Structure 1
Amino acid sequence: MPSPPLVVFTDLCGTLLDHEDYSHDAAEPALARLRAAGVPVILVSSRTAAEIAPLRADLGLADHPAIIENGAGLLEPGAAAPEDRGRYDELRAALGRLPASLRAGFHGFGDWDLPMIARRSNLPMAEAELAAKRRFSEPGLWRGSDAQKAAFLDALAAMGVQAREGGRFLKLSFGGTRASRMAEVAARYGTPFTVALGDAPDDADMLEAADLGLVIANPHRPPLPPLAGEAEGRILRIDAPGPLGWTIAMTHVLDARGL
């Protein structure tokens, strides 16, 4: 099978999906062009397989893999969400081994009931239930001081737990990054030109590793600092937020490449 003209890796919340209502309607014009051109669009998210599987099908992207739980896992093409808990219980046990003074500052999905997950995530209850079906990572909020947070992260790192800041939550896992999974997936398609879109700190490694990175505006947080490759024009910033910015960005790419 010939390699596609490019492969697109996209963050979801605040990028392909609206930050507030999670709609992707404004991105549909560009998504339709990508589908027509045979360009794989790979969803990249901190969301669980249970969340991604129906969304991927709704977007018409079920024939492609998806990167889940911030790079800690992969959902294969056409696959349903696995029923097992993966390494989630192991991750929660690592949190339980922290000193109480450090553990008290972090409140994650495993500490909340479904109504709280729904409120914190701005999700309907049915979708919050899917978000709670975690296998590889633990999103949460930090409520302590910066000094306590640094000690918290150091203690977790000593147990092999990594932390990444996202658009809404601090996300813990045993490793795997968006960039490393992007390289793994891109290799399946040969040596394609890779485009990555994102809006938050946990997208930075993916944006920097792509042939072209597109930073979508996020009015809900300070702008990302300058990224490696940005001065050379390998990373561009889009002024519009969410799916509108996504369509502007991808229209620019498709027009430039004659697709």
Structure 2
Amino acid sequence: MVVSDLDGTLLDHETYSWQAAAPALALLKQRGIPLILATSKTAAEVRGLHRELGLGALPAIVENGAGLYRPGVADGAEPGYARIRAALEALPDRLRQRFRGFGDMTAAEIAETTGLPEQGAALARRREHSEPGLWMGGDGDLRAFLQALDRQGIHARHGGRFLTLSLGRTKADGLRQVAAELSPDTVIALGDAPNDVDLLQAADIGVIVRNDHAPAIAQLPEEAVGRIRRTKKIGPEGWNDAVIGLVQELQKAGD
């Protein structure tokens, strides 16, 4: 099973194209190896790409592991997001007013904040499992905000500009859930940024895909024994070489 981050990994940083990885994607289909997308995007955002890649009924890990997208299952009915929003509304006004989540913004405001086109921002606003937002207060209030949410079982992660609230699941949790369902012999994970480290470490083999536009991933202990590797090429070109090489390596080991 191959589990892959999207932006900067399978998708080119500039063009968001996966075409450079087409040979590896074709090899996975030919060998019947499932490809599981793992992304910060919502189910609504990932649905089109999932269909474009011909991934059929396979699930995808969405919202940074907070949930799974399952083709054919309607979105919008998950209780996780409602629980997060209820926890926010239960906060004292002093703290609540300092966090502006996607659920507090219009699609136009999200587009202005993220740089997404407004249509894409509307899909990003269709949350099911997590709530990204902007923190507009000081460090003292932030500590109080996080502590109050933690008492309600809500966890927070910083990533770039946004503070994202969830029930604590990560991409690694999503990987383990899908692996338990599909029972693969080997799990390969690919990612490009520090927020992918838990995903890479949860796999049998992890691949850090070079992305000169993202913060670098520090040297990991697993690299010393070859369980995590790095690509020389960038984005989907590196992804393509890594996946083809690993499939061939595993085939030789099994012969």
TM range (shorter): 0.7 to 0.9
* AA aligned opposite 2:120: E
* Cα pair 1:153 1:163 within 8 Å, conserved: yes
* Correspondence for 1:215: 208
Change (3 A) 1:138 1:83: closer
Query: Kindly tell me: are residues 43 and 30 of structure 1, through their superposed partners in 2, closer, same or farther at Cα, counting changes over 3 Å?
Result: same
Task: Label 1:108 to 1:192 Cα distance change in 2 as closer, same or farther (>3 A).
Answer: same
Say which SS state the counterpart of residue 22 (structure 2) adopts: helix
Match of 2:112 in 1: 119
Q: Do residues 183 (structure 1) and 183 (structure 2) align?
A: no
What is the deviation of 1:198?
A: 1.1
Instruction: Give the equivalent residue in structure 2 for 1:73.
Output: 67
What is aligned with 1:32? 26
Instruction: Quote how far apart the aligned CAs of 1:228 are.
Output: 4.3
| Separation of aligned partners in 2, 1:189 and 1:91 | 30
1:105–1:143 contact (8 Å) kept in structure 2: yes
1:59-114 alpha-carbon deviations (Å, 9 max, x no partner): 111231111222221222x3244242533232123223345554455432123211
Correspondence for 2:130: 137
RMSD: 2.5
State the Cα distance separating 1:226 from its structure 2 match: 3.1
Q: 1:37 to 1:146 in 2, by over 3 A?
A: farther
Q: Is 8-17 or 158-167 further displaced after alignment?
A: 158-167
Q: Which position in structure 2 is the counterpart of 1:240? A: 233
Instruction: Give the CA deviation at 1:168.
Output: 6.3
Q: Is contact 2:193–2:215 with CA below 8 Å preserved after alignment? A: no
Residue 14 of structure 1 pairs with residue 8 of structure 2: yes
Of all paired residues, the percent bearing the same amino acid is 48
User: Which residue number corresponds to residue 43 of structure 1?
Assistant: 37
Determine which structure has the larger helix proportion and give its number. 2
Instruction: Give the Å deviation of 1:166.
Output: 4.0
Residue in 1 aligned with 2:248? Answer: 255
Unaligned runs of 5+ in 1: 1-6
Pair 1:110-2:106 in alignment: no
Give the residue type in structure 1 aligned to 2:118: M
How far apart are residue 164 of structure 1 and its match? Answer: 2.8
**Aligned length, in residue pairs:** 252
8 Å CA contact retained: 1:45, 1:69: yes
TM-score, normalisation: structure 2: 0.86
Give 3-state SS (helix, strand or coil) of 1:170's partner.
Answer: strand
Once the two structures are superposed, what CA deviation does each residue of 1:198-241 show, in whole Å capped at 9, x if it has no partner? 12233211110100111122333421233342222211122433
Residue 131 of structure 2 aligns to a residue whose secondary structure is: strand
Q: Which residue of 2 aligns with 1:82?
A: 75
CA contact (8 A) 1:198 1:207 kept: yes
Q: TM-score, normalised by structure 1?
A: 0.84
SS in 1 for 2:176: helix
3-state SS of paired residue (1:188): helix
Q: Alpha carbons of 1:93 and 1:219: their partners in 2 closer, same or farther (altered >3 Å)?
A: farther
Q: How does 1:189-228 map to 2 (within 5 A)?
A: 189-228=182-221
Call closer, same or farther: CA 1:163–1:21 in 2, change over 3 Å: farther
Q: 1:213 to 1:27 in 2, by over 3 A?
A: same
Deviation at 1:53, TM superposition (A): 2.1
